[in-house]
A and B are shown apart, each in its own frame.
Chain A
């Protein structure tokens, strides 16, 4: 095994730990909705939410990086250039994440000055990590991009997947720099902040996961490179064509010009089109393999990625993307419902699929099966669908009564919190969240015990062979 692959496994393991932490803080955040006095003045909702959503960004990012370090040496049949530096930065990044979480938990907030921005909280949603940690993330992303590009140059070979990946890494690194400027005008600040959040999630990350899934399909079901790369080009063109200007669907209530509503609505409405193609592709692949693969967990998680992306991004997104609806649904639990489902479908399932694939490959492509992965697959997906369903009901209630009828006043917001539909949905979200957490526990158990179970199976087979 290459050093880069060992590093990839470490990244994937770290991302799973952060995924767990993110779930714990998500559960905490959901308790405040049903018990508003929970941990009052000790640990506020806003802090739980910060750790939850920043954890989301970091677990997925580490998962992507881990997946690419896993596949890259196989792609070039050589060690990754600059791997020593990448190994050092992995530990620096892990230590930074631990320190940032500890500061969020124990310090929580500071005075409105430079010190707080550098060492406590930078104050921008999704990228709240203090400035020093944002620098660590930038350096890590920069070194990661260097690893990929330098390896490609050293190998004197550029495959289609790697070319797309390199083209994507440039905006991925550059857009993160958008986390740094200090803009005192709130409208301007939010205008540029969305360039980071939207273009990361609906453009560069989409391409990144496209490349990762292309490699996954090649290794998992033996899909040919020509097929996978052709499909990747089509998909990337369609996703970028619709996703980039879909940016306008965020430009509500922040003072941007009106034409953004039409631009955002139009391009977002086109986003389900490539996703439908992805569904047909998934059916084709599943049918061709008769739903069988040596690595069934990875195969099923890959299928879940295609369907989850379509439902979370396509159906949930289209429901609320046209300006007449977005005007009211913007920033309600409806958005949270779409966000949960789309992140899970588009990225979460993909990272879990690579986790299983990498574990199997690292152990000589041994067959992975058993009951645990099926339970975790079912509980995680049912838990997620339940949470998003509950949030959808709460969000529709909120958009209608608080926004459309109540006129978005403070009074309407407060009276909304007492409405039965809203409250019952919040309880349902908490219960499905618990199911999701149980699913994660089973997933972690399955991943940890795979080596032990394989050893036991090997001993059993050897004993049976000796007996016969």
Chain B
């Protein structure tokens, strides 16, 4: 019971680490961060496999753990895309200071 609980907690903790490192690697475009990000997801996958094969949880709960592990894989990229699209759309809105700044820069370059 205790080992199962710790593994379940570990699963979510590594999902958090994966999300954090995914965001950091997108911000800094760093190979090390990208490797760390995928390493944390590998640990998450290993934990999910261990929960499925070693713990006394019933099949339904094991299936839920596998489905959660799959969901954790796609949530950070999906959220990032959503945020980028939202912010990008906002920055392209007419009258937005950033759009105005870009337009000024283009004019300057042309001149």
Contact = CB atoms under 8 A, between A and B. Distances in A.
A272 interface: yes
A316 B75 contact: no
A315 B16 contact: yes
Given A266-B64, A399-B1, A284 B83 contact: yes
Contacts of B71: 273
B50 interface: no
Contact of A227 (B9, B60, B79, B90): B90
Interface in B60-85: 60-61, 64, 68, 71-72, 75-76, 79-80, 82-83
A413 to B, nearest CB: 18
Contacts of B1: 324-325, 328, 399-400, 404
Contact of A279 (B11, B16, B28, B64): B16
B5 interface: yes
A311 B22 CA distance: 17
A315 B8 CA distance: 8
Nearest to B56: A324
Task: Tell me the dominant secondary structure on chain A's binding face.
Answer: helix
B86 interface: yes
B79 A322 contact: no
A281 B22 CA distance: 11
A265 interface: yes
How big is chain B's contact interface, by range?
35 or more
Most central of A272, A283, A287 by chain B CB within 10 Å: A283
Contacts of B22: 280
Task: Tell me the dominant secondary structure on chain B's binding face.
Answer: helix
Contact of B23 (A287, A314, A329): A287
Interface in A272-324: 272-273, 276-277, 279-281, 283-284, 287-288, 310-311, 314-316, 318-320, 322, 324
A455 interface: no
B20 interface: yes
A279 B56 contact: no
Contact of A280 (B5, B11, B13, B80): B80
B5 A396 contact: yes
Interface in B24-78: 24, 27-28, 56-58, 60-61, 64, 68, 71-72, 75-76
B111 interface: no
A316 B13 CA distance: 9
B4 A324 contact: yes
B57 A276 contact: no
Given A287-B27, A399-B2, A276 B16 contact: yes
Contact of B57 (A314, A322, A399, A400): A322
Contacts of B87: 224, 227, 288
A226 interface: yes
B84 to A, nearest CB: 8
Interface residues of A, number: 39
A454 interface: no
B24 A318 contact: no
Given A273-B75, A314-B16, A319 B23 contact: no
Contact of B79 (A269, A281, A328, A404): A281
B43 to A, nearest CB: 14
B24 to A, nearest CB: 6
Contact of B68 (A273, A284, A310): A273
B76 to A, nearest CB: 5
B12 A272 contact: yes
22 contacts: A227-B86, A227-B87, A227-B90, A262-B60, A269-B61, A269-B64, A273-B72, A276-B76, A279-B20, A280-B23, A283-B20, A283-B27, A284-B23, A287-B24, A310-B16, A318-B8, A318-B11, A320-B5, A322-B8, A322-B61, A324-B4, A329-B5
Given A316-B9, A396-B5, A400-B2, 19 more contacts: A224-B87, A269-B64, A272-B15, A276-B15, A276-B19, A276-B79, A280-B19, A280-B76, A281-B79, A283-B20, A283-B27, A284-B27, A287-B28, A310-B16, A315-B13, A318-B9, A319-B9, A325-B1, A325-B4
Interface of B: 1-2, 4-6, 8-9, 11-13, 15-16, 19-20, 22-24, 27-28, 56-58, 60-61, 64, 68, 71-72, 75-76, 79-80, 82-83, 86-87, 89-90
